Amino acid sequence: MTRVLVVEDYPPLATVVAIALRRSTGHEVVRVGSVQRAAAAVTEHPAFDVVVMDIDLPDGSGVELARQLLSNGSAKTCVFFTASRDDKLRKDARALGPVVDKLAPMSELVRVVLENLGAPRAPVIAEAVNGGGVAEPGVHSSGTRRRSDR
C-alpha cells in the first residue's frame, strides 16, 4: 500500500489534506504537525512514498526536513504545500519537489501528489498558483480569518 506523510502545523488544514488524500487515492495517510514529529514518524514506520509538507514549520524548515528524508531514504518524493511568499525558500523547495500554493484548490494538491507517487526526487516543473479553495471556509491557511469574513 502506498504511504503518505502529511507534515502541517495547522490542525484543521492537516485534517482536510489527510482526508482529501485518503478519499482521492485510498492510500494510508499519517499526519504530524512538526519536524520533530515527522522525524519520529519515519522511525516508527517504513519509508513513505510521498511526504506532503509545509515549508515553514514551528520547529524547523520543511526544506531541510525534505533534504534529510530524501537523502536517508525515508521518503521517495516530497511535495511542498505552502503559503510562503519567500522566493528563496520556494526556489530551494522546488529543487527538491513540486510546490503547491495553499490557496490552490485541494484537487490541485491531490493531482500533484498522484503525479509524483513513486517518482524519486523528480521535481515537477509545475507550481500551482492561486486558484481558490482553502481548508476551512473563512479561514486562511495561517489560521487567521479572511478579511471578507470578519
pLDDT digits (tens, 9 = 90+) for 31-64: 999 999 999 999 998 789 999 999 999 999 999 9
Range of the domain at 9: 3-126
| Predicted pLDDT of residue 13 | 97
| Predicted pLDDT of residue 136 | 32
Q: What is the CATH number of the domain that holds 33?
A: 3.40.50.2300
Give domain status of residue 139, yes or no.
no
Average pLDDT over the chain reads 82
| Predicted pLDDT of residue 143 | 42
Task: Output DSSP code: residue 125.
Answer: S
Contact 143, 56 (CB under 8 A): no
Residue 139 or residue 86, greater confidence: 86
Nine cell digits for residue 125: 516543473
Residue 111, amino acid: R
Residue whose cell numbers read 479561514: 139
Distance CA 10, CA 105 (A): 17
| Predicted pLDDT of residue 4 | 95
Give domain status of residue 144, yes or no.
no
Nine cell digits for residue 8: 502541517
Give domain status of residue 17, yes or no.
yes
CA 129 distance to own-chain centroid: 15
| Segment 83-105, tens digit of pLDDT | 999 999 999 999 999 999 999 99
Please check the confidence at residue 138 and state whether its pLDDT lies above 90.
Answer: no
Give domain status of residue 142, yes or no.
no
Give domain status of residue 146, yes or no.
no
Residues 6 or more apart in contact with residue 1 via CB below 8 angstroms: 27, 28
| Predicted pLDDT of residue 118 | 57
Question: Of 30, 67, 33, 35, nearest to 48 (Cα)?
Answer: 30
Residues 6 or more apart in contact with residue 101 via CB below 8 angstroms: 82, 83, 127, 128, 129, 130, 131
Residue 30: band (very low, low, confident or very high) from pLDDT cuts 50, 70, 90: very high
Q: Which residues pair with 29 in a beta bridge?
A: 4
Residue 24 or residue 136, greater confidence: 24
Residue 130: Cβ within 10 Å count: 10
Task: Output DSSP code: residue 40.
Answer: H
In what helix (H) or strand (E) does residue 12 lie, and over which residues does it extend? helix 11-25
Q: How many domains does the chain have?
A: 1
| Predicted pLDDT of residue 54 | 97
